[in-house]
Amino acid sequence: MKVHILLGPPGSGKGTQAKRLVEKFNLNHLSTGDILRDAVSKETEIGRMAKAIMASGKLVDDDTVNGLVFARLQQGFEGDVLFDGYPRTLQQAKALGEFLSTQMIGLGNVVNIAVPDGVLEARVVGRRVCSNNDCGAIYHVESKPPKQDGICDLCGSPLKHRSDDTAEAFRSRMADFNASFQPLLGFYEHQPHYRSVDGNLAPEQVFESLVQLFPESA
């Protein structure tokens, strides 16, 4: 088992691309945003703590997120794991590195999906997601509308607007991203399987670029 990492700002397409990569390469998708949203909807202790933080676009504290990820990794996976939205601070990257070495788990691809800031807000504010957490399909009111307004093409569940997909929360998420990204990049950019792909292309083209990177080490 290895872990692969997708980096990128809010709205860069990590979730969209992760779903495709997971299907093509039979990976396990581990999105800390999805895990936390699930905890919020189930009103667990962590969910109650994280709810307002997430809605305002701030980051949940490193120890909580690391704890969730390590607990899940310790349960084991059949095959490789693809992280989406984790790690996103230098502290998380270092803690993950230590955890992987103690568990003798390898680090595979680390891929940055690079998208200019100017296009991200419209992507996020127009996003709609399937309310069925087991499906979680991702849409956009303009660039990827569902066939039937407000209904998931894949499972028929209602679509919803994430509570942090407002312009205000997006700006807060971008501020956190901009503060944490350079140290994170500094940590990963010299590792052998670090790559950056152009995420400002059609989703299919971004996927093509990612597919080129995965087979060699996945």
19 is catalytic: no
Instruction: Out of 2, 51, 58, 162, pick the active-site residue.
Output: 162
162 is catalytic: yes
Instruction: Report the partner that residue 127 touches, choosing among Mg ion, ligand AP5, none (CB closer than 5 to 8 A by kind).
Output: ligand AP5
Instruction: CB nearer to ligand AP5: give 184 or 218.
Output: 184
Residue the block writes with tokens 């849409």: 139
Instruction: Report the partner that residue 16 touches, choosing among ligand AP5, Mg ion, none (CB closer than 5 to 8 A by kind).
Output: ligand AP5
Distance separating alpha carbons of residues 134 and 154, to the nearest angstrom: 11
- Exposure class string for 84-110: b at 16+ Cβ within 10 A, else e: bbbbbbbbbbebbeebbeeeebebbbb
Using the rule CB under 6 A, is 136 a contact of ligand AP5?
Answer: no
Instruction: CB nearer to ligand AP5: give 71 or 104.
Output: 71
Instruction: Out of 14, 19, 37, 128, pick the active-site residue.
Output: 14
φ, ψ of residue 13 to 5 degrees: the values are 110, 20
Cβ neighbours, 10 Å, residue 72? 15
Closest distance of CB 118 from ligand AP5, Å: 13
Q: Which of 3, 36, 39, 210 binds ligand AP5 (CB under 6 A)?
A: 36
| Of 103, 96, 101, 112, residue with least CA distance to 77 | 103
127 is catalytic: yes
Q: Which residues contact 99 (CB under 8 A, 6 or more apart)?
A: 66, 70, 73, 105
φ, ψ of residue 107 to 5 degrees: the values are -100, 125
173 is catalytic: yes
Distance separating alpha carbons of residues 74 and 156, to the nearest angstrom: 34
Instruction: Report the partner that residue 57 touches, choosing among ligand AP5, Mg ion, none (CB closer than 5 to 8 A by kind).
Output: ligand AP5
Footprint on this chain of ligand AP5 (rule: CB under 6 A) = 8, 10-16, 32-33, 36, 53-54, 57-60, 65, 85-86, 88, 92, 123-124, 126-127, 138-140, 143-144, 164, 173, 199, 202-203, 206
Q: Catalytic positions, please?
A: 14, 88, 127, 162, 173
